[in-house]
Amino acid sequence: MDQKERFGTNARMIGYFMKGSWPFFILSAVFATLLAFFDMLSPRLISFTVDYVIGEEDPGGLSSFVKDLVSFAGGLGFLKRNLLLIAGASLFLGFMAALCRYLFRTFNARGAERLVERMRNELFTHLLSLPYKWHASNSTGDIIQRCTSDVQTIKRFVAEQMTALVRTFIMIVMAVSFMIRIHPVVTFASAVYIPVIVGYSLFFHNRIGSSFEKVDVEEGVLSAIAQENLTGVRVVRAFGREKYERDRFETQNTLYTGLWVRLMKLLSIFWSCGDVVTGLQSLSVMVCASVFCVRGSLTAGEFIALCSYNLMLVWPVRTLGRIISEMSKAGISIGRLRYIMNAEPETDRKGACEPPMDKDIEFSHVSFTYENGSREVLHDVSFLIPAHSTVGILGGTGSGKSTLMYLLERLYELPPENGRITIGGTDIRNIRAGYLRKNIGMVLQEPYLFSRTLSENISMAADSSDMESIRSAAGTACIDDAIQSFTSGYDTFVGERGVTLSGGQKQRTAIAQMLIRKPPVMIFDDSLSAVDAETDQKIRHSLAELHAGESGQDRAAVILISHRITTLMNADNIIVLDKGRVCESGTHEELLKQNGLYKKIYDLQTAGKEDEIS
């Protein structure tokens, strides 16, 4: 089955999410039925007491079942002398109704929480499996809003509206059946309003749904603005953009609030209509029953019972109308979650393998464009990275350096017609993605650190690690001394995205995070740009010493991407990119002799250093 057809309907996805919670909702429905039954018995007991125990109505009209029950209790005379028995029976019915109400709410709540737990787990797991391209094209704030507000909307619908629908249906059927046995005409006067309520509820259904969809979308935009500003608060402060961002947030918040006000006005009209209709329903039943009571076709007890049943019927009927309107809001939220759940996750080709990764890496005639119609980022790029060697990649901004590494890690899939990337002769499309990424360590120019301690951040990429391994990796990354200078050392808590560390400290922590894994392929994607030249040299020296201490077969292949020639000049081979094409290739000395782009960059950077010295 195609992944996109996995959840073709809202009901199908809700059914999938409700696996494991069905038993609780079924039990809640059972106790809702029993609750309705015990609630319905109370008016009948009151009616019987008023007419036959306290009053003098002829018991000949009683059903055979009631007559047998009265005889078993000792007869009408005995009951008249012992009204406490009837009070006890009423108390018993109240107790049973309270017990069923408790069990109904308990099982319903457990089912609802189990449903939410499964929804969150499935959404989070699925989000982790989606391609990098999907995440790049969807706002984080909007995704969070879908996984929080929309999940709660669905929970309320299933746990409150859907269970209320079952209980409402049971209450309506029971109330009407009890009323019709007492007086069909009065029953008709009450039931005739049910289609009216359903009709105007359907009228408001689509209008409420479209308004709620606008509110939901704008809430996602508001969440995205808040998330971006809280995450990038240092940038906002650094550029003095507080007022601009505050105005931007307030403008969006005003729009969002206005949409909610419009929705509330619509809901107010809907609820007011419900008040009017249910008021007319109660008035009609009261007037109709009074007329028949005066005429003698209704007893006082039956009058009380009919009015009681109508009051029981009023709220379920109104609830039915609200459920219909709430369905529109839930439908929007379910559709927004279906968008996530129907997004196609990353999949490996059938028969994907796990070949040795300490082999030659070859880019063969690779071309790539991010989006249709956009500029080609890479054009017919071909080069070889021998196993265990160090290769440098130099190029200006937008030359495609990082794109090459994204393609190597399969963060973006290379279309078959756009060339091949192989490791040891095996096309990376045929390598299991998880295995490929586990064996390729990459440090980005802007590393992401989690809100954890430094030791946890460094060790998180390794299956297992001890403090000795952590310190060894940190030492190679030239961050150990800095960490030791912190009051809490390796237990220092890193703020969100590493906000408590400097740019260079974050980069060096990320390098240690990669080194502790000891992958056979290591990529440094401009990951030394935030450190000074001296620290850059120390890190390169530490890496060289690390490689020198390893045998040829154990030595990792290193790919250095940088704008700084001093970072690349000792590489075994340097590849120069210009506008997505390989324009030069060779060692540092060979490239200087070619007197091309590399030589121009070298002269500019060398001249800059001389100017600084002078």
Parallel, antiparallel, or unpaired: how do β-strands 420-423 and 426-427 relate?
antiparallel
The answer to whether residue 348 sits within a structural domain is no
Rounded Cα distance, 59 and 278, in Å? 34
| Segment (H or E) for 390 | strand 390-395
Q: Which domain holds residue 533?
A: 361-439+519-613
Which of these, 200, 194, 202, lies nearest to 310 by C-alpha position? 194
Is there a single domain that holds both residue 471 and residue 413? no
Is there a single domain that holds both residue 254 and residue 270? yes
Q: Which of 494, 517, 540 is the last residue of a domain?
A: 517
In the block, tokens 């979308």 appear at 217
CATH of the domain at 495: 3.40.50.300
Quick check: helix, strand or coil at residue 392? strand
pLDDT at 423: 92
Q: Which of 306, 341, 376 is the last residue of a domain?
A: 341
Q: Which of 478, 494, 517 is the last residue of a domain?
A: 517
CATH of the domain at 237: 1.20.1560.10
- Structural domain count of the chain: 3
The answer to whether residue 351 sits within a structural domain is no
Q: Which two tokens stand for residue 172?
A: 């309506």
Is there a single domain that holds both residue 602 and residue 566? yes
Is there a single domain that holds both residue 504 and residue 567? no
Is there a single domain that holds both residue 480 and residue 545? no
* Sign, Cα dihedral of 567, 569, 572, 576: positive
Characterize 375-405 residue by residue with b for buried, 16 or more Cβ atoms within 10 angstroms of its Cβ, and e for exposed: eebbbebebebebbbbbbbbbeeebbbbbbb
The answer to whether residue 350 sits within a structural domain is no
The answer to whether residue 499 sits within a structural domain is yes
Is there a single domain that holds both residue 558 and residue 606? yes
pLDDT tens across 485-511, in order? 888 888 888 876 666 777 778 888 888
Characterize 63-91 residue by residue with b for buried, 16 or more Cβ atoms within 10 angstroms of its Cβ, and e for exposed: eeeeeeebeeeeebeebeeeeeebeebee
Q: Which two tokens stand for residue 501?
A: 């560390």
Q: Which two tokens stand for residue 199?
A: 């009709």
Low-confidence stretches of the chain (pLDDT < 70) are 1-5, 48, 51-53, 55-70, 72-76, 79, 205, 231, 234, 239, 315-322, 324-326, 372-373, 463-464, 496-499, 528-532, 546-554, 608-614
Is there a single domain that holds both residue 386 and residue 400? yes
The answer to whether residue 347 sits within a structural domain is no
User: Which residues does 463 contact at the CB level (< 8 Å), separation at least 6?
Assistant: none
pLDDT at 191: 78
Is there a single domain that holds both residue 313 and residue 195? yes
Number of other residues whose CB lies within 10 A of the CB of residue 467: 10
Is there a single domain that holds both residue 460 and residue 600? no
Which of these, 533, 368, 537, 513, lies nearest to 442 by C-alpha position? 513
The answer to whether residue 355 sits within a structural domain is no
Is there a single domain that holds both residue 224 and residue 300? yes
Q: Which two tokens stand for residue 233?
A: 């608060």
Is there a single domain that holds both residue 161 and residue 273? yes
Is there a single domain that holds both residue 221 and residue 161? yes
